[in-house]
Amino acid sequence: MNFYIVDVFAVGKYTGNQLAVFTGDGVGQLSDTDMQRIAKEMNYSETTFITSTEMRDGGYDVRIFTPEQELPFAGHPTLGTAYVLQQEIIQKLVERIILNLKIGQIPVTLDYSGESVEWLWMRQKTPTFGQGFSADKIAPVLNLEVEEIDSRFPIEEVSTGVPFIIVPLNNLASVKKIKVNKDKYFELVSNTQAKAILVFCPETYYPENNLNVRMFADAMGVPEDPATGSANGCLAGYLVEYAYFGSGPIDLRVEQGYEIGRPSLLLLKAQKGQAGIEVNVGGKSIIIAKGEFV
- Residues designated catalytic: 46
Q: Is 58 helix (H, G, I), strand (E, B) or coil?
A: coil
User: Contacts by 129-134 with C-beta closer than 8 Å and gap 24+?
Assistant: 129/156, 129/157, 129/158, 129/237, 129/238, 129/241, 130/156, 130/157, 130/158, 130/159, 130/163, 130/193, 130/194, 131/156, 131/157, 131/192, 131/193, 131/194, 132/156, 132/157, 133/165
Q: What is the largest CA-CA distance in the chain?
A: 55
Strand partners, 47: 20, 65
242 close to 272: Cβ distance less than 8 angstroms: no
Helix axes 182-189, 135-142, angle to 10 degrees: 140
Strands 60-65 and 47-50, by their bridges, are antiparallel
Q: What is the CA radius of gyration of the chain?
A: 18
105 close to 98: Cβ distance less than 8 angstroms: yes
Give the Å distances, CA to CA, from 135 to 123, 145, 240, 276: 31, 9, 21, 27
